[in-house]
Amino acid sequence: MTTLTCPAKINLYLAILEKDETGYHKLDTIFARLPEVTQKPDLLHVEPADHFEFHCESLPGQDNLVVKAVRLLESHAGRTFHYKITVEKHIPLQSGLGGGSSDAASLLLFLNQAENLGLTQETLMELGAQIGKDVPFFISGFQVARGTRYGDQITPLPTLPQALHIEIEEPFTPTSTAEAFSNWDKSLHEKAPSIEPMLAALHAQNPSAILAALHNDFEPIQIISDSPRQVRILAGSGGAHAVFCAADS
């Protein structure tokens, strides 16, 4: 049996741009993977079987992105894959932490190798984007990256400095991505601030500047304290919040 580790993510910056002709919003965002000490990752236990078998207590059916990943790759490869997959879920559903996308990305990478498909990372990212727009980020392997277009065009960025600490708040109110965008469409909103201060802060590895540049169009950030500097921000499009603290403040 193989166990795949599927980390969570957070959006350091998230700007919602115009809709395309299909009704999808374009985005400009910065993803960052969360370490296990901040958010325990999902685990996928995968083993060969006589037929496909899937187990996940929180989301057991065809709507699970893991199942969608298998079906998509089967269609692309022109054959079926026989595995027993058990999802050990730790990243909450509809939290904005990207658990489902991370699970799907890990399985796509595994199947590509286990089944000797020989697909390039670029092809896997293109396939993954059909499942979820966060999937390419997880496939990329980058710790921090900018996501443009729908968040699926990935450009690497410097990793987060060690002096920056992140904690995920519990409990939270689950919010689906569709619900979040629908609510945003109905609300009054201003143009997002420039992404450039966040890019500069990451390249300078300046924790305080990163905190000052945090942004999420779905919800204003909240300054909890100035000494030490603590900021509360929505993790993504879902309902979970994160508290950032700069140890050098």
- Catalytic residue list: 9, 134
Q: Where are the beta strands (DSSP E) in the chain?
A: 2-6, 9-19, 25-33, 42-48, 53-55, 83-88, 144-148, 153-156, 164-168, 215-216, 222-226, 229-234, 241-246
Q: Taking a C-beta distance cutoff of 8 angstroms, is the pair 139, 124 a contact?
A: yes
Distances (CA, A) of 77 to 73, 80, 111, 144: 6, 8, 11, 30
The C-alpha atoms of residue 122 and residue 147 are separated, in whole angstroms, by 14
Instruction: Give 249's DSSP letter.
Output: -
Distance in angstroms (rounded) separating the CA atoms of residues 60 and 55: 6
- Work out the end-to-end distance of the chain between its first and last CA atoms, rounded to an integer number of angstroms: 46
Query: What token pair was written down for 123?
Result: 């092809």
Q: Which of 152, 171, 141, 195 is nearest to 14 (CA)?
A: 195
